[in-house]
Amino acid sequence: MKVKFLTVFALAAGVLIASVPLFADHGNSAFDTGKRTTMKGTVTEWFWANPHCFLKFDVKDDSDTVVHWVAETTNAPDMIERGWSKQSFKPGDEITVTVEPVKNGKPVGRVLQVILPNGQTLGMAYLKQRGVYSGGPQ
């Protein structure tokens, strides 16, 4: 009986340990939740992949210094449902980006909305419940 209990306990502990990383990727603690920063910038790279897509862009600050930003989105299949695609951006595109920045002040954030050079707006529906959603494809 004691051996059976230890076996079940070891298996249960193993499952719990293995499942913790599944939740680690989806935390919000690094982001300044509810804060919005809107910038005009130039796309340097659009990284289309799982588990997250990344938009890299350059922004000039008040002293004309170029700041290299990286902003994440959700996974590619979810982005397709929101009207985004692998071809949404190309290097050199002038865009207006609204991000939820990280708390530590680094030029990193989560994309809330992007206005493309043609005026089309791409939004992130997953933030609608927090009152910062600005719309989807328009």
Region of poorest pLDDT, from 3-12, 24-33, 108-117: 3-12
> How high does pLDDT run on average in the chain?
80
Other Cβ atoms within 10 Å of 46 Cβ, number: 20
- Selected from 1.50.10.10, 3.40.50.300, 2.40.50.1010, 3.30.70.260, the CATH number assigned to the domain covering 37-130 reads 2.40.50.1010
* 33 or 55, greater pLDDT: 55
pLDDT score recorded for residue 72:
94
Work out the pLDDT band at 87, boundaries 50, 70, 90: very high
Residue bearing tokens 């985004």: 84
Query: Could you read off the pLDDT of 50-69 as tens digits, one per residue?
Result: 899 999 999 998 899 999 99
Three-class DSSP labels, the chain: CHHHHHHHHHHHHHHHHHHHHHHHCCCCCCECCCCCEEEEEEEEEEECCCCCCEEEEEEECCCCCEEEEEEECCCHHHHHHCCCCCCCCCCCCEEEEEEEEECCCCCEEEEEEEECCCCCEEECHHHHHHCCCCCCCC
| Predicted pLDDT of residue 6 | 58
- What torsion do the CA atoms of 110, 112, 114, 119 make, to the nearest 10 degrees? 180
- Whole-structure pTM over 0.75, yes or no? no
Question: Which tops the pLDDT comparison, 115 or 133?
Answer: 115
pLDDT at residue 34 in the model: 83
- For residues 15-34, average pLDDT: 59
